[in-house]
Amino acid sequence: MRQRAVQWVVAAVLMATAGAWVALPTPAEAQTTATQHGKTLRDRLKIVGSRTMQPIVEALVEHYTGWTGHPKPEVDLKGSTDGIRRLCSGVGPQFPDIAVSSRRIHHNEVEICDDAGVGDLIEVAVGYDAVVLAMRSSDTPMALKLEHVYRAVAAVLPEGEEFEPNEHTTWDEIDPSLPKTEIRFLIPTEAAGTRGVFNDIFLEGGCRYVKEIRQIFDAVDRVERCTGIRTDGRVTEVEGADYIDDMIAKLRDAPPGTIAVMDYDLAHYAGIPLTLLPIEGIAPTPMSIALDDYDASTKHFLYFKKAHMPDASGKGVVHGIRQMIEETVSERAIGPGGYVVKLGLIALSNVELARQRHAALRLRRLDPTD
Amino acid sequence: MNRIIRFALAVGLGLAAPLSAVAQDRGASAPKSPTPTATVAQSSIAAPAADGGGIVDSAMQGVSDTVGAVVSIFNVTDVDSPASMLSKMKAARGFEFWAMVADAGFELKEADTDVGLIPEFSFKFDKARELSNADRVWLERKLRRHKQRHGGLAAKMKRGLIHALLEAHDLNEGFSLESFDVGFTPLPSLKFAVAPKDSRLLDKEHDALYRAILGNRAVTRRTAAPKGSAAGETKPANTR
């Protein structure tokens, strides 16, 4: 009997704690938190990462500042890879608190984080997206395989026992079943997470089962041969702060058959009619992306640096990380019909949504093997 | 490293149960050579039978499922001539599981048979390539898809082995998994060999050697030798 009473008390305390986590505080409560900045080393959050996630970051910041009363975070988006690198550089007021990324953090990046003493990262997936190959609707569509893309884009291709410069000029030279259309690509630069996904899935994925590549033991050597892109003018890297707008503008004026590599959500805001090409027989649709059937489907993430959160006495690098986590996993943000979904991401499934909330609100450490 | 040790222990324990059942089957078909382990397992299963059927039935079912799982993982149900083994291997290599082992960076190097009163049979896999980040992500995606399509113990054990291989690629203590052996008879076993990362040949040298030996994967047939003898038995210094 006594044991049951104890169980009830513990359960009640846990429920009350969970409730406190999930419920967003009132502006007055948040203002109280905001006045504690004196104990922290910086008065506002610093957010870095993916440029393609800029609309999502802006929406999150607007809602976060609205209810917390905290100063507007400093946002500096130069790309997912750059953002993760800066997040993992160290602990202190000069380093960012949050990185947004259009791809998942890699194993070796987690190791770099650990080596720099960054410690626990909290990972929150905010929705599904995909990297797509888009053509103008007026061009002849193609059904491509990953290996086709690799053989079209790579700088060097295996020829016998050697690697020779890629001299394919039309698609039918790669596979006779493809049209006799000039090979032309517009791709983002290396700083973009979209490019990282393109390299990983289309280029490495396309060369993974090529015999001559498979015989190379060293991963670095293999990756260089697979992801090095040709420089003969058939592949154009689009760079600059507004590379997404530039990409659309360049695609509009490009020769027929040009393929642009972009995010699925952005393809819907292009302003020109586009055809999204199927890969390995599966077209990118909300369903195929959410079910992970489309090979280049991915998720967008936010990474929070736990080491920057204030301790029990209120001392730390910055206030507001916990509140930003709460805003990110709130129903109005990433729930079905939330503002993140309205900005173009595909909503997480209910199970995935619950899992993200559960892990994030308990500040669970990122597990790269999960 | 600890994860590997834990996995090896878990697999060892997992294989110990089916071992008894496999041995029992073998004992029935080959009456002269039941192993002592089979006797122990038989008595431990038979003893509670007198107390009640439910628990025993479920235990027997569990053992039976595990045997099925282990057998189905490697698609090997019996050990006979090396020729038939080769044909089974050839058929099995097309399966998704073998493809995943290859995607995890390991290639079948040897199928080792030992013909005698107690036949021995094992596969040896060597590390054929390092994994890039993209390789890991791709394999993890394949495992997720596999999990969605295939339920049951056998599929879970297959995924468990692939996960272990993935984790074992880069052990934090400066070691990496270089090869592993899967044995079926007389006792099911899984043996990992780890080595210091910096002991490897220069990569280009390794690549050249690997290309040279491709196609020369050996199936060795040996005559029966007393257990523990040195008949072709080479054991890495730091074998687990």
Closest approach of A279 to chain B, Cα-based (Å) = 15
Q: Please answer yes or no on whether B133 and A200 come within 8 Å at the CB atom.
A: yes
Q: Looking at A102-116, A249-263, B179-193, which range is the least confident one?
A: B179-193
Select, from the ranges A1-15, A199-213, B165-179, the one with the highest average predicted confidence (pLDDT).
Answer: A199-213
Cross-chain Cβ contact B214/A215 below 8 Å:
yes
Please list every residue in chain A whose beta carbon sits closer than 8 Å to the beta carbon of residue B132.
204, 219-220, 222-223
Mutate to test the interface with B, among A149, A216, A227 (most CBs of B within 10 A): A216
Comparing CB atoms, the residue among B129, B133, B210 nearest residue A106 is: B133
Considering only CB atoms, B167 lies closest to which of A205, A218, A369, namely: A369
Q: Are residues B134 and A205, on separate chains, in Cβ contact within 8 Å?
A: yes
Smallest Cβ–Cβ distance between A216 and the set B134, B144, B207 belongs to B207
| Residue B131 sits at the chain A interface (C-beta within 8 Å) | yes
Chain B CB contacts of A288 below 8 Å: none
Whole-number pLDDT of residue B72: 57
Threshold 0.80, pTM exceeds: no
* Burial letters A58-75, b for 16+ CB under 10 A, else e: ebbbebbbebbbbeebeb
Task: Mark A135-159 as b/e (b = at least 16 C-beta within 10 Å).
Answer: bbeebeebebbbbbbbbbbbbebbe
Q: For residue B230, is pLDDT > 70?
A: no
Q: Interhelix angle for A27-34 vs A54-68, to 10°?
A: 100
Say yes or no: ipTM exceeds 0.85.
no
Residue A292: its chain B contacts at CB < 8 A? 141, 144-145
The nearest alpha carbon in chain A to B134 belongs to A200
pLDDT band at B238 (very low <50, low <70, confident <90, very high): very low
Q: What is the mean pLDDT of the segment spanning A215-236?
A: 94
Selected for mutation to probe chain A from B130, B131, B163, B216 (highest A CB count within 10 Å) is B130
pLDDT tens-digit map of B96-123: 778 888 899 988 888 777 777 777 777 8
DSSP 8-state class, residue B239 = B
Among the listed residues B37, B169, B51, B126, the one whose alpha carbon sits nearest the alpha carbon of residue A107: B169
What residues are paired with A262 via a beta bridge? A132
Chain A interface with B: residues with Cβ < 8 Å? 104, 106-108, 199-201, 204-205, 208, 214-223, 292, 369
Instruction: Mean pLDDT check: name the lowest of A150-154, A299-303, B35-39.
Output: B35-39
Q: What is the mean pLDDT of residues A46-71?
A: 93
Which chain A residues contact residue B135 at CB under 8 A?
Answer: 204, 208, 219
- Choose among A275, A290, A301, A295: nearest CA to A346: A290
Instruction: Give chain A's mean pLDDT.
Output: 87
Q: What angle separates helix B133-149 from helix B153-168, to the nearest 10 degrees?
A: 170
In the chain, the amino acid numbered B150 is H
Residue A194: what are its φ and ψ, rounded to 5°? Answer: -60, -40
pLDDT, chain B, mean: 61
Chain A interface includes B214 (CB < 8 A)? yes
Q: Is the predicted pLDDT of residue A139 greater than 80, yes or no?
A: yes
Name the residue among B130, B136, B211 with its Cβ closest to that of A215.
Answer: B211
User: A293-331 burial, b for 16+ CB within 10 Å, e for fewer?
Assistant: bbbbbbbbbbbbbbbbbbeeeeebbbbbbbbbbbbbbbe
Rounded to an integer, the average pLDDT of B165-191 is 73
CA nearest to A105, candidates A45, A46, A50: A50
Q: What pLDDT score does B211 carry?
A: 65
pLDDT at A173: 96
**What is the rounded average pLDDT of the residues A94-123?**
90
The shortest CB-CB distance from B136 to any of A107, A199, A220 is to A107
Whether B130 sits inside 8 A of A217 (CB atoms) is yes
Cα of A64 to nearest chain B Cα, Å? 33
More confident call, A4 vs A220: A220
The pLDDT-based confidence of A358 (bands split at 50, 70, 90) is: very high
pLDDT band at A26 (very low <50, low <70, confident <90, very high): very low
pLDDT value at position B95? 64
Place of tokens 């000069």: A94
Buried (b) or exposed (e) across A250-281, using 16+ Cβ within 10 A? Answer: ebeebeebbbbbbbbbbbeebeeebbbbbbee
pLDDT at B83 over 80: no
Q: Do A219 and B130 touch (CB under 8 A)?
A: yes
User: Taking 60 as the threshold, does the pLDDT of residue A1 lie above it?
Assistant: no
Smallest CA–CA distance from A203 into chain B, residue? B134
Residue A344: the pLDDT is 84
Q: In chain B, pLDDT over 90 holds for what percent of residues?
A: 1
Q: For chain A, how many residues are written?
A: 370
List the beta strands (DSSP E) in chain A: 46-49, 74-77, 98-101, 121-136, 156-159, 162-165, 185-188, 235-238, 259-263, 274-276, 297-305
> Per residue in B204-227, pLDDT tens?
566 666 666 655 544 433 333 344
Q: How confident is the model at residue B28 (pLDDT cuts 50, 70, 90)?
A: very low
pLDDT at residue B46 above 50?
no
Chain B neighbors of A106, CB-CB under 8 A: 133, 137
Choose from A23-37, A44-58, A165-179 the range with maximum mean pLDDT.
Answer: A165-179
Q: How far apart are CA A268 and CA A262, in angstroms?
A: 10
Closest chain A residue to B128, measured at CA: A217
Q: What percent of chain B has pLDDT over 70?
A: 38
Query: Does the pLDDT of residue B56 top 50, yes or no?
Result: no
Task: Name A181's Cβ contacts closer than 8 Å, sequence gap at least 6.
Answer: A139, A140, A142, A170, A171, A172, A256, A257
Residue with tokens 């870095």, as numbered in its chain: A48
Q: Do A108 and B133 touch (CB under 8 A)?
A: yes
Span B1-22, mean pLDDT? 45
Tell me what the mean pLDDT of segment A222-228 comes to: 95
B112 sits in which H/E element = strand B106-115
Q: How far is B52 from chain A (nearest CA, A)?
A: 33
Do B135 and A107 make contact, defined as CB atoms within 8 angstroms? no
Q: Is the confidence at residue A17, as pLDDT, over 50?
A: no
Instruction: Considering only residues A56 and B76, tell me which one the structure prediction assigns the higher pLDDT.
Output: A56
pLDDT greater at residue B233 or residue A116: A116
How far is CA B168 from each of CA A362, B50, B104, B130, rounded to the nearest angstrom? Answer: 29, 44, 10, 11
Mean pLDDT confidence for A323-344 = 93
- Residue position matching structure tokens 């027929």: A256
Specify the pLDDT at position A329.
95
Element (H, E) at B12: helix B2-29
Expressed in percent and rounded to 5, the helix, strand and coil fractions of chain A are 40, 20, 40
Among the ranges given (A174-178, A229-233, B37-41), the one the predictor scored with the smallest mean pLDDT: B37-41
B147 touches chain A (CB under 8 A): no
Mean pLDDT, range A159-185, rounded to an integer:
94
Chain-chain contact of B135 with A216 (C-beta, under 8 angstroms) = no
CB contact under 8 A, B133 and A199: no
More confident residue, A187 or B89: A187
CA pair distance A206, A146, nearest whole angstrom: 4
Partner residue facing A292 (CB), from B130, B132, B145: B145
Cα–Cα distances in Å, from B109 out to A218, B114, B164?
Answer: 19, 16, 19
Any idea which residue has 């909330």 for tokens? A357
